[in-house]
Structure 1
Amino acid sequence: MMPLSIRTLCLVLLSASALSLPAQAVEPRVANEHLKVYSIGGDYALYREAVEMAIIDRGIVINNVAHIGPMLSRTGADIGGEAIFLHAEALEFCSALLSRRMMEAEPHHIVFCPYVISVYELADEPGTIHLAYRRPTLLGDARSREALEAVDTLLDEIVREALAF
């Protein structure tokens, strides 16, 4: 078995070429206190893999991948409704360091873990890939808000790195 899959090799080559290009400013399509959604034209598999690699490259383990698109497709026949997504997955993970800081500041902030980044392509908007995440609510004392802001920053950095491909 080859040590690198073709898909991983392509991602490595694309990331190397992306490093030689000037960074493109990407603004979120939706940004509010609850979520951020970035959108980009391209291939779903490429951006899904890019998000995974951006997480793993930070030494963070992905705990779960929720296959939301296939679940909705599978159940759609039973409960009715049109197709929503062509592809949709949510990657769940935590940073041990940031999660510890967040919960040392306020143990009840356990509800903000795991972090989730969703990657999806809408059925009525093929070719546009969306990378989105829930933003932790900045609450509590200064230490608590600072820990939550660090989580928000991590999520944004991961998404922006994936968008650079």
Structure 2
Amino acid sequence: MLKILSACLVLSSGFFSTTVCAEKISETDALVTYKAADEFEMVKENMVMAITNQGLKVSGYLHIAEMMQRTAKDLGFNNVFHHAESIEFCSALMSHRMVQLDPANAAVCPFTINIYSKADSPEQVYVSVRKIYLQGDDDKAKAALNQKINQWLDAIVVEGLDE
């Protein structure tokens, strides 16, 4: 069952503020998925802009659809994607905070935002992001940082969808 949820943020910078909304179509313990209103390349460009607006640099792109299309037939699968790419990026600030809880949390980086359209409905674009659950002995600090990082990732996606 998919729940349609609303995700709105109030963005402010100096002299003005604006409310932006994106259509969150599902949220599980592992992933948050949004429905985009623009074409794939525009959504990808807007996500990159939202990442760089945080003062971050994109470290790489994973061309998921190409790999899946190339290997599907040989492995006995149907092609699922029309387009699919993940954008990788990291934040030194968030990384330092995470490894202070537990050095194993370095495995969480890089963060990724996945943009895709399905083979059976190529005009509809989706964006998904993995929810972060950190390790550490301080449950209160861990819960607070999990929440902070997940809200930060959501804010990046929502900004990218509302460009």
Normalising by structure 2, report the TM-score.
Answer: 0.80
Are 1:94 and 2:90 counterparts?
yes
Describe the SS at the equivalent of 1:71: helix
Aligned-pair identity (%): 32
Between 1:31-40 and 1:103-112, the stretch displaced more is 103-112
Name the CA distance, whole Å, in 1 between partners of 2:106 and 2:91.
Answer: 12
Report if aligned partners of 1:30, 1:37 keep a CA contact under 8 Å in 2: yes
Matched residue, 2:152? 154
Q: Which amino acid aligns with 1:42?
A: D
Aligned pair count? 145
Describe the SS at the equivalent of 1:98: helix
Matched residue, 1:58? 54
Matched residue, 1:145? 143
Name the CA distance, whole Å, in 2 between partners of 1:58 and 1:42.
Answer: 22
Matched residue, 2:123? 127
Report if aligned partners of 2:35, 2:126 keep a CA contact under 8 Å in 1: yes
Report if aligned partners of 1:106, 1:144 keep a CA contact under 8 Å in 2: no
Name the CA distance, whole Å, in 2 between partners of 1:112 and 1:149.
Answer: 15
Matched residue, 1:11? none
Which structure features the higher share of strand residues?
Answer: 2
Indicate how the Cα distance of structure 1 residues 106 and 138 shifts in structure 2: closer, same or farther if over 3 A, else same: closer
RMSD after superposition: 1.9
Instruction: Provide, for residues 71-100 of structure 1, a one-character-per-residue CA deviation record: whole Å limited to 9, x for no partner.
Output: 111222322332211100011111110111
- Structure 2: runs of 5+ lacking an equivalent: 1-17
Normalising by structure 1, report the TM-score.
Answer: 0.80
Are 1:110 and 2:106 counterparts?
yes
Which structure features the higher share of helix residues?
Answer: 1
Moved runs in structure 1, 4+ residues, more than 4 A? none
Matched residue, 1:8? none
- Structure 1: runs of 5+ lacking an equivalent: 1-21
Name the CA distance, whole Å, in 2 between partners of 1:42 and 1:30.
Answer: 19
Report if aligned partners of 1:121, 1:129 keep a CA contact under 8 Å in 2: yes
Name the CA distance, whole Å, in 1 between partners of 2:51 and 2:42.
Answer: 14
Report if aligned partners of 2:37, 2:161 keep a CA contact under 8 Å in 1: no
Following superposition, the deviation at residue 125 of structure 1 comes to 2.0
Report if aligned partners of 1:88, 1:120 keep a CA contact under 8 Å in 2: yes
Instruction: Provide, for residues 18-71 of structure 1, a one-character-per-residue CA deviation record: whole Å limited to 9, x for no partner.
Output: xxxx74532311102211000123300000111011111211111221000011
From 34, 39, 42, the equivalent of 1:38 is 34
Following superposition, the deviation at residue 129 of structure 1 comes to 0.8
Describe the SS at the equivalent of 2:112: strand
